[in-house]
Amino acid sequence: MKTLSVFVLALLFAGCMQIPKDAFVVTPELLKQREIETRRYDGISEEDLLIASSNALQDLGFNLDNSETKLGVLTASKQRDATNRGEIAVLVLFALLGGQTSGAISKDQTIRVSLVVRPVLDSNGKPMEKSEFVRVTFQRIVRRMDNSTYSETLLNEKLFEDFFERISKSVFIEAQKI
């Protein structure tokens, strides 16, 4: 019954919430995020870079959902456990102190990634031979114990550094054909 109320309430809010005014405006923060999400790779063709990227995604346990190699697009996802000890510890402590626990512990999550390869343009706006940008974006949808969900776009800079390192390694392995 409680779950139903939560669900109906969520629907009620979802229906009445207004779309943000700047939903389709590129803000300076978004441009900064673009830098974090993009890396340039030289000396590799778009096709080889896409293959290396899809291998790197597989290394990380992602399953490929969709691809359009002619546009340099790959999308992939994975489902994983989302329980974390910190959250549980806080709740246990809260319960021990006599508080009513809400059951709002993260249970599992779907992580989605889209990876887009596009050629670097020279000063005349022409695509350069064997110079490519890779831009990657991540989202996750977390389901809690009470089946409510929350979703977010991942913006952590370290995550992107680690990810691009994987791609670099994968590119190296491709180049060496090991």
Partner 1 sequence: MNRTFPAILIFSSVLSGCVNTINQRVLDIGDETQLQKRSYQSRIFDTGDKERVLRATISTLQDLGFVIDRADLVLGSVSGTKLQGHQIKITVSVRPKGDDRMLVRANAQFNVTPVEDPVQYQNFFTSLEKSLFLSAHAGE
Interface contacts to partner 1, rule CB under 8 A: 1, 4-5, 8-9, 11-12, 14-17, 19-20, 22-26, 30-31, 33-34, 37, 65-66, 68, 70-73, 75, 112-114, 116, 118, 125, 135, 137-139, 141, 150-153
Distances in Å between the Cα of 70 and the Cα atoms of 22, 49, 135 are: 31, 13, 16
Q: How far is the CB of 80 from partner 1 (least distance, A)?
A: 17
Q: How far is the CB of 48 from partner 1 (least distance, A)?
A: 18
Query: Six-digit token pair at 12?
Result: 């009620």
Residue 52 vs 116, nearer CB to partner 1 = 116
Q: Answer whether 136's CB lies under 8 Å from 37's CB.
A: yes
CB contact set of 72 (below 8 Å; sequence gap of 6+): 46, 50, 116, 117, 118
Q: How far is the CB of 57 from partner 1 (least distance, A)?
A: 14
Residue 145 vs 155, nearer CB to partner 1 = 155
Q: How far is the CB of 99 from partner 1 (least distance, A)?
A: 22
